[in-house]
Amino acid sequence: LKQENYVEQSLVTIPQGLAPGLYNITFDLNWTNLDGTDIVTVDNVTINVLANPQIEIDRNSLNFTVMNEQNGTKNFTISSVGNVQVNNVSIFCISGTACTDFDMKISPSQVLLFFPGTITEIIVNTSVPEVYQTGLYNGTMLINGTYQGQIVNITMPVWMRVPINTT
């Protein structure tokens, strides 16, 4: 109809892992005027995909139950789910009694280049001293890395339960 506009929306989905850069999307627009003439036009839209370094952990917390003078082992996985690699990824226990009072060993504790789509299993071994008070102790694990000055930080709670030793 004369002097009227028609608006159509389109949804553009960017695939996971698409490299940063400029991408062109071409639209072919076709319509028929009231007088029966067909119009065809082409339009381009440029999409700027930015670098998005991201790491995900497969669980919400790491939970141990370990008796006095015993060891416990748990594992979790980290995934690189962004579209660029994360460099110098370090995994360590940073704070809390679970980190300071118990001997916690993390393997691997570093991943130098963590490429998109990569999954790495992390094994955490901890031990309780010979005599330690029964209780529930918390801590915080930090997984961090960088990409061209961007810092990627993820934390995960660590819970250490030392049960009553009945022997």
Tens digit of each residue's pLDDT (9 = 90 or more) over 58-72: 999 999 999 999 999
Q: Is the pLDDT of residue 162 over 70?
A: yes
| Pairing state between β 150-162 and 135-147 | antiparallel
Instruction: Quickly count helices (H) and strands (E) in the chain.
Output: 1, 11
For 108-130, b/e burial (b = at least 16 CB within 10 A) is eeebeebebebeeebebebbbee
Q: Which residues contact 65 (CB under 8 A, 6 or more apart)?
A: 72, 161, 163
Q: Which two tokens stand for residue 159?
A: 């819970």
Tracing tokens 């094994």 back to the chain, one arrives at 123
Local structure of residue 10 (DSSP, 8 states): -
Q: Is the pLDDT of residue 21 over 80?
A: yes
Cβ neighbours, 10 Å, residue 97: 14
Tens digit of each residue's pLDDT (9 = 90 or more) over 99-150: 999 999 999 999 999 999 999 999 999 999 988 999 999 999 999 999 999 9
Give this prediction's pTM. 0.81
Local structure of residue 23 (DSSP, 8 states): E
